[in-house]
Structure formats: structure tokens, C-alpha cells
Amino acid sequence: MELMTRQETWNITYNHALGETASWFYAQIRDHSKIYGRRCAATGRVLVPPRSFSDQTLEPTTEWVEVGPGGRIEAFTIVYEEFQNLPPPPYAFGYVLLDGADTALGGYFKGLDLTDPAKAAERLKMGTRVVTKFAEQRTGDVLDFWYEIA
């Protein structure tokens, strides 16, 4: 017998409140091209992206600390498939431990030739120094910055 399906498409827009901490973080990126983390008073660790409390100690963070723009690669991957509302593939992304930070910040790697993934991967090895670059037009978003090999 004929087996049918019912197709549905939902289009719901969420407006997620960033709160004071993430709002200030993105405002600094947008207005000053600077990245900041928050220091946990209990451990001294600088958490990036910033949080108002440490999920390790559950203590409120107490201080803004500028980090980067230099850093080193902690992890990377190269993506070949298309995702909704993201750049056309292929592209590389991963995590960078910015100078002065104790946790790594996710972002895209640009300025690389990805046509030979193995060669690109060699350049993205863990520990490789990178520098954070900022877009000319910034909106206060993760896409305002990316990493390039230093």
C-alpha cells in the first residue's frame, strides 16, 4: 500500500536575552575590537567566553580581563557540508586559547587554502600561534571576529 508522510516546516524566531555579562562582552567586540574574559575570584582562572559565575566553583566572577588578540590553537576541524545560515563550505573552525585566558574560545579560522585538507591541517596544528582579526563592520556577534595564523 502507499505509505504517506506529513511534511511540516516550522519557522520560530527566538530572542535570547544575553544578560549583562555577554552583552558587555559583545559590546567591547563591536565598539573596540577587544575580547574580554571574566576572572573567577576563587581560582583566578580567566573564563572566555565570559560568564557571570564559574560552573566549577559556583562563585560569581569578579573582574573583566582583556585577553588576546594572540593565542594558540587548541582544537580544529574542517567542515565540508553546508549548515543553515553559516558561510558556504569548506571552512575551518575550532578553539583558541587566547593569551591571558584559561579557557578556549570558539571561532573560525580564515586566510587558509583549504583545497588540500592535509596541508591545511598541518598549518592548524594544536599549539600553532594565531591572531584574532576583526571585521570592519561589527554587529556584536561571534562572526565579528576570526583567527588567522600569526
Partner 1 sequence: MPYKVQPGVIGCAIRPAIAARDRSLEEIIYDTTQQALADAGLTIDDIDGIIVGSNDQLDGRAISVMMASGAVGGVDRDILSTPSGSEHAFILGALRVATGQFQTQLVVAWSPTEASSIQEVERLGADPYFHRALPLDELSAHALQASVLEQKIPGVRDMADTVLAKNRRHGEIAYPGEHGQPGPARWPLAAGTTTRPVTGCVAMVLATSDFIAKRGLTDVAWVRGMGWATEPSFLGDRDLSAAPALAAAALQAYQEAGITDPMAQLDVVEVTDATPYAELLAYEALGLCARNDWAARVGDGTFAHDGKLPVNLSGGVQTFNPVFCTGLIRFAEIANQVRGRAGAHQHPNTNNGLAQAGSGFAMQYQAAIVLGREKEVRT
Q: Shortest gap between Cβ of 45 and partner 1 (angstroms)?
A: 10
**In this chain, which of 35, 94, 109, 130 binds partner 1, going by CB under 8 A?**
94
SS3 label, residue 49: coil
- The answer to the question of residue 27 lying near partner 1 (CB under 8 A) is no
Nearer to partner 1, 41 or 106 (CB): 106
Q: Which residues contact 47 (CB under 8 A, 6 or more apart)?
A: 37, 38, 39, 40, 54, 61, 101, 102, 103
Contact 67, 35 (CB under 8 A): yes
Candidates 28-36, 63-71, 135-143: pick the segment binding partner 1 (CB under 8 A). Answer: 135-143
CA atoms 53, 65, 35, 20: torsion sign = positive
- The answer to the question of residue 116 lying near partner 1 (CB under 8 A) is no
- The answer to the question of residue 55 lying near partner 1 (CB under 8 A) is yes
Nearer to partner 1, 142 or 150 (CB): 142
Contact 100, 46 (CB under 8 A): yes
Contact 60, 42 (CB under 8 A): no
Binding site for partner 1 (CB under 8 A): 3, 5, 8, 14, 16, 18, 22, 47-49, 55-56, 74-81, 83-84, 86, 91-95, 97, 103-108, 117, 120-121, 125-127, 141-143
